[in-house]
Amino acid sequence: MASTHRSDNLRPPRVSVIIASYNHERYVAECLESVLAQSYQDFEIVVTDDGSADGTVERIRAIRDPRIRLNVFPQNRGACVAMNDCLARARGEYIAVLNSDDTFDPEKLAVQVQWLDRHPRFGAVFALPVMMNERGESFDDDSHKDYRIFEVDNRSRAAWLRHFFYYGNCLCHPTVLIRRACYERVGRYDPRLAQVPDLDMWIRLCAEYEIHVLPRRLTRFRVRENLQNASAARPEVLVRDDWERQYLLEHYRRLEPGLFREAFAADLKALALPEDAPQPLVLARLSFAAGLPHHIRFGLDLLYRQLGTGDMPPPGYPDFAEFIRETGARDPYGLLERAALRAQVKDLSARLDALSR
């Protein structure tokens, strides 16, 4: 696509690149320069700094380009709050998301704008990332949890929804170009979430729109050392991630019935539930079949809410005695496993004491 530049300052740019910056003074200038160097020039850069405690804001202000529109929070409020502030100020027809420690390939906007222009039925287009380390060199640790996670094939939105339900995220957030109209329809980022707000957005997006992943590497995604990425497997991240995921499953309750059945067609056959089984009941059974702790918590809670407190359960649902047996048979908090482990430790300690006498 030929390079273009806005000649009419009264006309909004076609693309808003939104960046929520936070404590990235070492990287943010490179990030911004990668946008300014795009072959497609009809854009603005909307930055919200989320209360950085280092020199990030000074680095941004040092780049004197009128297309950079900066807002600075006086204190840290959370990445989703900063992202939503960017969205509220963005004027473009298309929204590109970029982390303040990542960079764009020079053709990123040109390729994706052209693709969305040619495919009006799709809400968003993604791409593949190049993984880089702290120094911007190729990241080649194939044992890292994210090393191959974004290498995905295209599928229908029903198939995307099934994948998100069972396996979680597989789309790289800073590769997306999305229509602003999509945010207006499905809502902005949930500020209660820290680990999976992007997955939450993709579920809501695919409930309404088709998406596409281009087989091109158009974003450089930085993997920080010492687990410094927001999604790195630190203990508090693992705990928070599992807690947040149960709330994302709530979106499946509101899926249009035809799309829900399409997404889980093969699973419904395996469950052997009646065709007229209530969708919340089917969703609870799917959650139990998935088997992860957040699935089980969600499934039990969903049945609890649907059963209510009347003398009889709603039609199609298990009776109260069966539900009570369910709550004793499933252990989403690992209580039995921890009790067994404590018993093993106690037994081992007793044996060691006996040997030392």
Can you give the CATH number for the domain in which 195 is found?
Answer: 3.90.550.10
Residue 4 clears pLDDT 50, i.e. is over it: no
The pLDDT of residue 357: 65
Would you say residue 218 lies in a domain? yes
Does residue 303 share a domain with residue 223?
A: no
Q: What is the pLDDT of residues 24-40, one digit of tens each?
A: 999 999 999 999 999 99
Least confident of 66-70, 314-318, 335-339: 335-339
The pLDDT of residue 233: 55
Per-residue pLDDT, averaged over 312-325, amounts to 92
Does residue 318 share a domain with residue 233?
A: no
DSSP state of 70: E
In the chain, how many domains are there? 2
Per-residue pLDDT, averaged over 190-210, amounts to 97
Q: What is the pLDDT of residues 136-169, one digit of tens each?
A: 666 676 666 666 788 899 999 999 999 999 999 9
Does residue 125 share a domain with residue 180?
A: yes
The pLDDT of residue 131: 86
CA angle 314, 315, 320 (to 5 degrees): 55
The pLDDT of residue 2: 39
Residue 205 clears pLDDT 70, i.e. is over it: yes
3-state secondary structure of 291: coil
The pLDDT of residue 141: 65
Would you say residue 188 lies in a domain? yes
pLDDT more than 70, % of the chain: 87
Does residue 307 share a domain with residue 200?
A: no
Does residue 306 share a domain with residue 193?
A: no
Residue 107: φ, ψ to 5°: -95, 5
Least confident of 6-10, 47-51, 191-195: 6-10
The pLDDT of residue 350: 64
Q: What is the DSSP annotation of 251-280? A: GGGGS-HHHHHHHTHHHHHHHT--TT--HH
Does residue 160 share a domain with residue 88?
A: yes
Does residue 285 share a domain with residue 238?
A: no
The pLDDT of residue 314: 92
3-state secondary structure of 323: helix
Report the amino acid identity of residue 298.
F
**Buried b vs exposed e over 176-196: b needs ≥16 C-beta within 10 Å?**
bbbbbebbeebebbbeebbbb
Rg (C-alpha) for the chain, rounded Å, is: 24
Would you say residue 315 lies in a domain? yes
Would you say residue 8 lies in a domain? no
> What would the two tokens of residue 265 be?
């067609």
Does residue 52 share a domain with residue 190?
A: yes
Would you say residue 353 lies in a domain? no
CB atoms within 10 A of CB 47: 26
> What would the two tokens of residue 162 be?
């099934």
Would you say residue 330 lies in a domain? yes
Q: What is the pLDDT of residues 206-231, one digit of tens each?
A: 999 999 999 999 999 988 655 455 55
Q: Across all residues in the chain, what is the average pLDDT? A: 90
pTM of the model: 0.89
Per-residue pLDDT band at 7 (split at 50, 70, 90) = very low
The pLDDT of residue 238: 84
**Containing domain of residue 190, as a range?**
15-247
The pLDDT of residue 250: 96
CA angle 144, 146, 149 (to 5 degrees): 130
Per-residue pLDDT band at 3 (split at 50, 70, 90) = very low
3-state secondary structure of 120: coil
The pLDDT of residue 179: 98
Residue 340 clears pLDDT 90, i.e. is over it: no
Does residue 293 share a domain with residue 218?
A: no
Does residue 325 share a domain with residue 198?
A: no
Residue 323 clears pLDDT 50, i.e. is over it: yes
Does residue 331 share a domain with residue 205?
A: no
Query: Does residue 233 or residue 204 have the better pLDDT?
Result: 204
Q: Which ranges constitute the DSSP H helices of 131-187?
A: 157-167, 180-186
With 0-12 / 13-18 / 19 or more C-beta atoms within 10 angstroms meaning exposed / middle / buried, residue 260 is buried
Q: What is the pLDDT of residues 55-97, one digit of tens each?
A: 999 999 999 999 999 999 999 999 999 999 999 999 999 999 9
Q: Alpha-carbon distance 218 to 5, whole Å?
A: 21
Residue partners of 137: CB distance under 8 A and separation at least 6:
none
Q: Which ranges constitute the DSSP H helices of the chain?
A: 28-36, 56-61, 79-89, 108-118, 157-167, 180-186, 197-206, 235-248, 257-263, 265-271, 279-290, 293-307, 320-329, 335-356
Does residue 237 share a domain with residue 268?
A: no
Would you say residue 143 lies in a domain? yes
Would you say residue 259 lies in a domain? no
Q: What is the pLDDT of residues 240-270, one digit of tens each?
A: 899 999 999 999 999 999 999 999 999 998 9
